[in-house]
């Protein structure tokens, strides 16, 4: 595939988007400890066309005494930003400055979306990379409260040298329980105001959201973060999109349920244990290390529909510990749990083998959303807290939370359109199908206290 440093001369804007990246429509977002190489490989198998590394802390990445951090983030043997960008420049198609992080650590460090007030500084950062790199620089940002300021900001980024803009349709205050909906109208206004390609970010949770988003925003492509984490096949429309199996079930007598993978008008929903086993096989095949924190986080999200039932396996996942130097051996322990869950899910699927898909899918009466069988990958929505005074939200006032998922620690992403192993209705409501499997466990998966989600 074209890309991965195939640029004899540095291309710009649509020429770069079309000739180097291949005009991708399906983009996998940068996600803290979650868009590592193994997950990017899995996402590609299921339709992801352009993938971002997690954001990388330019200061830590550029320091000579941070070799371990560098190798974990990107496995390759305003000054720190350029220094970091130069290290990875030969191994990616573009370098993205992520201006979207809304988390408190970004507020304290004055980066991510909290640089939005420092327009002169942002201009210099983008322009420095634009003038000094052999690959294009792109930028991801959050909208402002007004359309006018959002458009002005986007035009400033374009004038600084950003060759692609990713517009997240939420403000920096829309996070946590106040995430709410992304504003596609503001993304549309940005698209109409600039001459470079625009990627729309926000509210992409089902495959069926993609065309609606493209039509509503006029964007060139859509980016998914949370939707991809709960279903890495979010970009795949049908069973015909299923890739060949990577490995057979461990037991040759394993039953093959009639509706093991499900495709509906919302897109493809593979069995989550199938996805997990594929992911772990990729982890084992790579020279690039995958943190066990990343593995645990992926498994908890994939298995969310089932873990409220299979609490013993949920507890085993949450208590899994890794001894230093034995990370690769631990993958086999993850596989043991996954295969046990796989057997239980096949059992449940076989119990309803005589039913049709329509009979297996229910509708949440409060939201109108489809609730799929618990053995397949599907999105999750958290309800907003009740308004002050204990009032009850009307149905039309219930909004979804699509927790943003970039890295707060960092401000540089790498894009790659090539196979990588470096030398890598817009309204949504909430489903309360199953509770958070293990909030304490999900906190424990963080590599350090600075690793929180952003967007």
Buried b (16+ CB within 10 A) or exposed e, 4-31: beebeebbebeebbeebbeebbbbbbbb
| Contact criterion met (CB below 8 Å) for 446 and 106 | no
Single out the catalytic residue among 92, 101, 167, 213.
101
Q: Note if 110 is an active site residue.
A: no
Give the span between the Cα atoms of 143 and 100, in whole angstroms.
9
Radius of gyration of the chain (CA): 21
Element of type H or E holding 141 = strand 137-142
- How many helices (H) and strands (E) the chain has is answered by 18, 12
List Cα–Cα distances, 269 to 231, 262, 352, in angstroms. 7, 5, 17
Query: Residue 76 and residue 28: Cα distance in Å, rounded?
Result: 22
Pairing of strands 362-363, 50-52: unpaired
Distances (CA, A) of 268 to 207, 262, 371: 8, 6, 14
C-alpha dihedral sign at 169, 172, 176, 180? negative
Cα 241 from Cα 46, distance rounded (Å):
7
Structure-derived torsion over alpha carbons of residues 90, 56, 293, 77, reported in degrees to the nearest 10: 30
Active site residues: 101
């Amino acid at each position: 595939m074209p890309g991965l440093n195939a640029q004899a001369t540095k291309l710009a804007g649509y020429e770069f988007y079309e000739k180097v990246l291949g005009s991708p429509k399906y983009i996998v977002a940068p996600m803290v400890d979650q868009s590592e190489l193994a997950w990017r490989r899995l996402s590609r198998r299921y339709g992801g066309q352009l993938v971002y590394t997690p954001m990388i802390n330019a200061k830590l990445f550029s320091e000579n005494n941070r070799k371990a951090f560098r190798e974990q983030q990107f496995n390759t043997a305003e000054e720190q930003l350029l220094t970091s960008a130069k290290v990875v420049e030969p191994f990616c198609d573009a370098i993205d400055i992520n201006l979207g992080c809304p988390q408190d650590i970004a507020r304290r460090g004055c980066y991510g979306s909290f640089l939005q007030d420092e327009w002169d500084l942002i201009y210099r950062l983008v322009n420095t990379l634009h003038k000094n790199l052999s690959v294009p620089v792109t930028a991801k940002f959050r909208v402002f409260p007004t359309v006018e300021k959002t458009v002005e900001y986007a035009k400033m980024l374009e004038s600084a040298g950003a060759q692609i803009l990713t517009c997240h349709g939420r403000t920096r205050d829309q996070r946590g329980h106040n995430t709410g909906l992304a504003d596609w109208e503001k993304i549309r206004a940005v698209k109409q105001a600039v001459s470079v390609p625009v990627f729309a970010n926000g509210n992409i949770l089902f495959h069926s959201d993609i065309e609606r988003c493209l039509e509503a925003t006029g964007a060139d492509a859509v980016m998914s973060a949370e939707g991809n984490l709960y279903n890495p096949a979010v970009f795949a429309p049908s069973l015909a999109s299923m890739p060949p199996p990577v490995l057979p079930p461990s037991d040759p007598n394993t039953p093959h349920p009639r509706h093991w993978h499900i495709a509906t008008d919302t897109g493809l929903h593979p069995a989550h244990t199938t996805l997990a086993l594929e992911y772990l096989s990729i982890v084992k095949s790579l020279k690039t290390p995958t943190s066990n924190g990343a593995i645990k986080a992926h498994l908890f999200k994939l298995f969310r529909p089932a873990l409220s039932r299979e609490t013993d396996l949920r507890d085993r996942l949450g208590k899994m510990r890794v001894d230093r130097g034995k990370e690769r051996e631990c993958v086999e322990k993850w596989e043991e749990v996954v295969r046990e869950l796989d057997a239980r899910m096949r059992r449940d699927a076989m119990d309803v083998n005589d039913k049709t898909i329509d009979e297996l899918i229910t509708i949440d009466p409060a939201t109108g959303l489809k609730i799929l069988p618990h053995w397949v990958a599907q999105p999750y929505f958290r309800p907003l807290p009740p308004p002050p005074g204990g009032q009850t939200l009307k149905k039309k006032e219930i909004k979804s939370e699509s927790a943003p998922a970039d890295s707060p620690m960092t401000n540089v992403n790498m894009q790659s359109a090539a196979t990588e192993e470096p030398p890598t209705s817009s309204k949504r409501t909430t489903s309360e199908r199953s509770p958070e499997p293990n909030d304490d466990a999900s906190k424990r998966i963080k590599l350090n206290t600075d690793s929180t989600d952003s967007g």
